[in-house]
Amino acid sequence: MPILLGAIADDFTGATDLCSMLVRNGMRAVQLIGVPEAGLVLPDTDAVVIALKSRTAPVEEAVARSLAALDWLGRQGARQFLFKYCSTFDSTEKGNIGPVADALMDALGCDFTIACPAFPETGRTIFKGHLFVGDLLLSDTHMRHHPLTPMTDANLVRVLQRQTRRKVGLVPFDVVRQGPDAIRARFVHLRAEGCGYAITDAILDEDLRRLGAACSDATLITGGSGIAMGLPENFRRAGLLRATAAADALPSIRGPEAVLAGSCSAATLDQIEAFQEVRPALRLDPLRLADGFDPAEAVAWARARTGEGPVLIYASAPPEQVRAIQDRLGREQAGTLVETAMAAIARGLVEAGVRRLVVAGGETSGAVVEALGVKGLVIGPVIDPGVPATVSIGREPPLALALKSGNFGARDFFTKAFRVMP
Ligand SMILES: Nc1ncnc2c1ncn2[C@@H]1O[C@H](COP(=O)(O)OP(=O)(O)O)[C@@H](O)[C@H]1O
Ligand SMILES: O=C(O)[C@@H](O)C(=O)COP(=O)(O)O
């Protein structure tokens, strides 16, 4: 069966977030880890989201991987394409949102698309082109200290314009509120002005549903998971999507439990603090890793404790510590060092029998899932907005996984996740 929607996500937790949004809106979705090798048998699905680790990759690599994903999705019959990036528009000065979106538009022969990272359920709203997180402009939040993608400008028209040769315009709030026809009319106007992109204001879910309806004929849409909210309804209205029972059903996976955290985001730091109050936690020091600390020691520490419940291994640190470590090791080198250690620890834990794993951080999740040979994920019930329970496909034995975006989840996420994972 051809798929309806083909999506490319620039990190692994972002892909899971998008799948969760589609499933919650009645569309079956499967997440694949990278472009699959020939022969992978897909479960029956309406949407496929290819998870890449391209958010912070060199621009040429991010573009090449995204185009390969687009090509594969096109060959599965996708009628519409979505480029999913972070709801906080995480990007470096060089990209990769603009360059990847440009390349996808060129490949699809499409001259206009929207850019909408809004996700009101998690506090991400856009007003007059400015991205807010909760009550603050993006640039006033902890995102200005992100280890890899510090965001110091909340004006998305300006941020995207720095990353693309196409002109960037705005669909303002008063137009979005008038509904799909007014939004489409604004698209026509922006196109006539020579714009290739429109940042779209959105404050409530209903704004995202209006935008979704306005994009029913768009070949390519770009944004956060929020923009996907209205898309299943377009396919339903066109008679292409049938109601399916329990789009979020998962098999049960039993076994020892562990949490790995490489995210330094405020929400994760809070969740680590809460977990430490009830269960054992081990901190990995990147400077010790650089001096040759063997990840096997962390695995041995965990093995001795997993019998009684989940344990946590984390590298996460507050901004001033991260800065000091980056000054010593370099930003990318510090990130790679921690990710490589987390990947080795994940392998060691699974060899030691761990079957239920929570991972915090998009880049960290990418490193862990690749190291474990996971080829894809079936999406289950929501733990907290943007983070579903999942079960791996393409590896034996299957693992129960929750891949948490750094910024998502309530304070008790690390214990709650294991209660929701079947
Ligand atoms: N103590 C630390 N110092 C420097 N970098 C770190 C530290 N701990 C983790 N990192 C790196 O920071 C990055 C966090 O990114 P990510 O995993 O995507 O988290 P988030 O989802 O919060 O953005 C990773 O590359 C990780 O390896
Ligand atoms: O859109 C979002 O906020 C998430 O889906 C996402 O991409 C988060 O990325 P990380 O914070 O790097 O996990």
Largest CA distance in the chain: 66
Residue 250's pLDDT is 86
In terms of residue numbers, what domain contains 101? 5-237
Grouped pLDDT means (10 residues each) for the chain, 422 residues? 94 94 92 89 89 92 98 96 96 91 98 98 97 96 86 95 97 98 98 98 98 98 98 95 74 96 96 97 96 95 93 96 95 94 98 97 94 94 94 94 94 97 90
Task: Please tell me the total count of domains within the chain.
Answer: 2
Regarding whether 410 and 336 lie in a shared domain, the answer is: yes
Q: Which atom of ligand 1 is nearest to the CA of 317?
A: 1
Residue 248's pLDDT is 73
CA distances to 57, 139, 162, 170, 212 from 114, in Å = 23, 22, 16, 9, 10
Regarding whether 209 and 330 lie in a shared domain, the answer is: no
- For the record, the structure tokens of 376 come out as 């894809």
Is residue 244 in some structural domain? Answer: no
Q: How far apart are CA 404 and CA 399, in angstroms?
A: 15
Q: Is the CB of 271 under 6 A from ligand 1?
A: no
Residue 394's pLDDT is 87
Is residue 242 in some structural domain? Answer: no
Is residue 374 in some structural domain? Answer: yes
Is residue 119 in some structural domain? Answer: yes
Q: Is the CB of 17 under 6 A from ligand 2?
A: yes
- Closest by CA to 29, choosing from 419, 393, 356, is 393
Regarding whether 327 and 215 lie in a shared domain, the answer is: no
Q: Domain end: 237, 272, 297, which one?
A: 237
Which residues have CB under 8 Å from 243's CB, separation 6+? 26
How many angstroms does the Cα of residue 244 sit away from the middle of ligand 1? 38
Q: Is 35 helix (H, G, I), strand (E, B) or coil?
A: coil
Is residue 399 in some structural domain? Answer: yes
Check which CATH number belongs to the domain holding 159 and give it. Answer: 3.40.50.10840
Q: Is the CB of 147 under 6 A from ligand 1?
A: yes
In whole angstroms, what separates CA 5 from the centre of its chain?
17
Residue 247's pLDDT is 66
Regarding whether 61 and 26 lie in a shared domain, the answer is: yes
Residue 243's pLDDT is 73
Is residue 243 in some structural domain? Answer: no
- What ligand has the least distance to the C-alpha of 266? 1
CA-proximal residue: ligand 1, atom 14 (nearest): 263
Report field, pTM of the whole predicted structure over 0.95: no
CA-proximal residue: ligand 2, atom 5 (nearest): 14
Residue 245's pLDDT is 60
- For the record, the structure tokens of 111 come out as 């001259």
Q: Domain end: 237, 265, 289, which one?
A: 237
Q: How far apart are CA 422 and CA 419, in angstroms?
A: 8
Regarding whether 274 and 371 lie in a shared domain, the answer is: yes
Regarding whether 203 and 274 lie in a shared domain, the answer is: no
Regarding whether 402 and 275 lie in a shared domain, the answer is: yes
